[in-house]
Amino acid sequence: MAIKYAILGLLHYQDMHGYRIMKHIQRNFGHMWTINYGQISRSLKDMEKEGLVSMQDVVPSDDGGPHKKLYSITPKGREEFARWLASFPDKGMLIRDPFLLRFVFFGFGERDQALKIIDEQIRIYEEQLERRKKNIAHWSGYPDYVRLTAELGLQFNRTYVNWLKRARKEIADGREEKGKKGKEKE
Amino acid sequence: MAIKYAILGLLHYQDMHGYRIMKHIQRNFGHMWTINYGQISRSLKDMEKEGLVSMQDVVPSDDGGPHKKLYSITPKGREEFARWLASFPDKGMLIRDPFLLRFVFFGFGERDQALKIIDEQIRIYEEQLERRKKNIAHWSGYPDYVRLTAELGLQFNRTYVNWLKRARKEIADGREEKGKKGKEKE
DNA sequence: GGATAACTATGTATAAAGTATATACTAATA
DNA sequence: TATTAGTATATACTTTATACATAGTTATCC
């Protein structure tokens, strides 16, 4: 359960409640992790049962805000996190890109439709790239591990956008019509 | 169910059995999709029920080899695939890297242990890069969509290895000790 | 020739992750 | 004062991923 360790790691910085953990992961780990509240909610409940975190109810009367559940990491949680951190990753990178899966098969469809989808993909990833460029400056004073991770996200984003634009151009220029269309390698 | 469309796409090229589909995805789509046999096996069974593929048992006496189940795409399968191909991807790229998740938290552990894990990661991805460099030449005559996708895989691999090496150097030089260790941004 | 390791081939049970949907309160804004 | 965006949580359901189990084939090593 990898989400578990992401949560335990974040709770090293400070106590948090579920929604804030989700927002943190979305904002700062977005290039290597996607998450939604349902997963956080379930994980926190399980982890409390396991004794890795402890929960404190923050009722509206306490701070004037909405009902929250504030989670802290326990000594047991710190132990398990440290063990995990020092262990070698057992699995490799997991990638799923619904766009690329289409892209590789675009030879079986209409070129104009393919170009439309590619253009939309360029729009999305250029926007993301601009957001990340703006954000990266804020990381300059932070620990190397965190800053370096953000920089990798930016580099992947840049590589992807450049590739998309080059691919779009090659396809628009009609080069795919000359290839051995429909053939595939083993 | 995205796996379904990967399978339907591959069956456009030729009839295949499950193990071969898995190997194909691992070898050629590894940078955009990860998969294991369990998923293929169940997907094919479901897809046969749905009428998207048809199955033909190849018993040992037929070809001397082991028992196989040869799958073909049906007209209904082609229709559904075409519909999917022309649709806009509803979800973005998903990346989950057990190494990067550790990396971002290495500030909470021992630097020497971190360096060991980083070195192992460099070894793994340099090996993968060499394999891909060798493979890419074989794609030169193939349709643009397929070749371009393979090229992106190579570029991502290269970006990752370069980043790993730079990160390793920065960390080995001890720069992470000077940072605001343990602090984290919101 | 026989062991053994690596590869081909499949299947099922279980665990983990991801999505859809629901509720409710707060803050901003038009 | 509506309405929208944002904060906050929870559960049911679906899809995806892993672990384990089986069995035959091919290659290699002694």
B96-125 burial string, b = 16+ CB within 10 Å, else e? bbbbbbbbbbbbbbeeeebeebbeebbebb
- B157 to A111, B19, B151: CA distances (angstroms): 28, 26, 10
Q: Is A6 exposed, middle or buried (0-12, 13-18, 19+ CB in 10 A)?
A: buried
d(CA B52, CA B70): 14
**Where would I find the H helices in B37-74?**
37-50, 60-63
Question: Which nucleotide's C1' is closest to A63 (Cα)?
Answer: C26
Helix (H), strand (E) at residue A72? strand A68-73
> Is A51 within 7 A of strand C by CB distance?
no
**Does residue B186 have a pLDDT over 50?**
no
- Ordered by start, the domain boundaries in chain A are 2-86, 98-177
Amino acid in the structure at residue A59: V
Q: Helices A18-28 and A37-50: crossing angle, nearest 10°? A: 120
Quick one: how far is CA A97 from the chain centroid?
Answer: 12
- Three-state secondary structure call for residue B68: strand
What is the pLDDT averaged over residues B26-38? 85
B6-26 confidence digits (pLDDT tens): 999 999 999 999 999 999 998
List the beta bridge partners of residue A54. A72
Chain A residue closest in CA terms to B179 = A143
Terminal Cα distance for chain B, rounded: 35
Q: What are B18's two structure tokens? A: 């499950």
What pLDDT sits at residue A61? 62
Q: Name B residues 25-64 whose Cβ lies under 7 Å from strand C.
A: 37-38, 41-42, 44-45
What is the pLDDT averaged over residues B64-90? 90
- A39 to A67, B25, B26: CA distances (angstroms): 19, 28, 28
A35-CA/D20-C1' distance, Å = 29
What pLDDT sits at residue A93? 85
A82-104 confidence digits (pLDDT tens): 999 999 998 888 888 899 999 99
B96-143 confidence digits (pLDDT tens): 899 999 999 999 999 999 999 999 999 989 988 988 888 887 777 777
CATH architecture of B2-85: Orthogonal Bundle (1.10)
Query: What are the φ/ψ torsions at residue A152 (nearest 5 degrees)?
Result: -60, -40
Tell me which residue has tokens 């939309």: A120
Inter-chain contact B6–A101, Cβ cutoff 8 Å?
A: yes
What pLDDT sits at residue B178? 45
CATH number of A2-86: 1.10.10.10
Rg of the Cα trace of chain B? 22
Composition of chain B by helix, strand, coil, percent to 5: 65, 10, 25
- B24 to B9, B27, B175: CA distances (angstroms): 12, 5, 43
Which phi-psi region, left, alpha or beta, contains residue B136 (left: φ > 0; alpha: ψ -120 to 50)? alpha
Chain B residues with CB under 8 Å of A184 CB are 10, 13-14, 142, 146
Q: Is A169 in CB contact (< 8 Å) with chain B?
A: no
d(CA B45, CA A173): 41
Q: Is A81 in CB contact (< 8 Å) with chain B?
A: yes
Tell me which residue has tokens 């069974």: B45
Amino acid in the structure at residue B68: K
What pLDDT sits at residue B81? 95
What pLDDT sits at residue B61? 62
B9, A182 contact by CB (below 8 A): no
Quick one: how far is CA A182 from the chain centroid?
Answer: 34
> Between the ranges A19-23, B86-90, B175-179, where is the mean pLDDT highest?
A19-23
d(CA A36, CA A42): 11
d(CA A114, CA A111): 5
What pLDDT sits at residue A27? 85
Share of chain B above pLDDT 70, in %: 90
Helix (H), strand (E) at residue B95? strand B94-96
Confidence of residue B64 (pLDDT cuts 50, 70, 90): low
Tell me which residue has tokens 């020497």: B112
Tell me which residue has tokens 């209409």: A110
Tens-digit pLDDT string for chain A (186 aa) = 899 999 999 999 999 999 999 999 988 887 767 889 999 999 999 999 999 999 998 876 656 667 789 999 999 999 999 999 999 998 888 888 899 999 999 999 999 999 999 999 999 899 889 888 888 877 777 778 999 999 999 999 999 999 999 999 999 987 544 444 444 444
Query: What are the φ/ψ torsions at residue B88 (nearest 5 degrees)?
Result: -80, 135
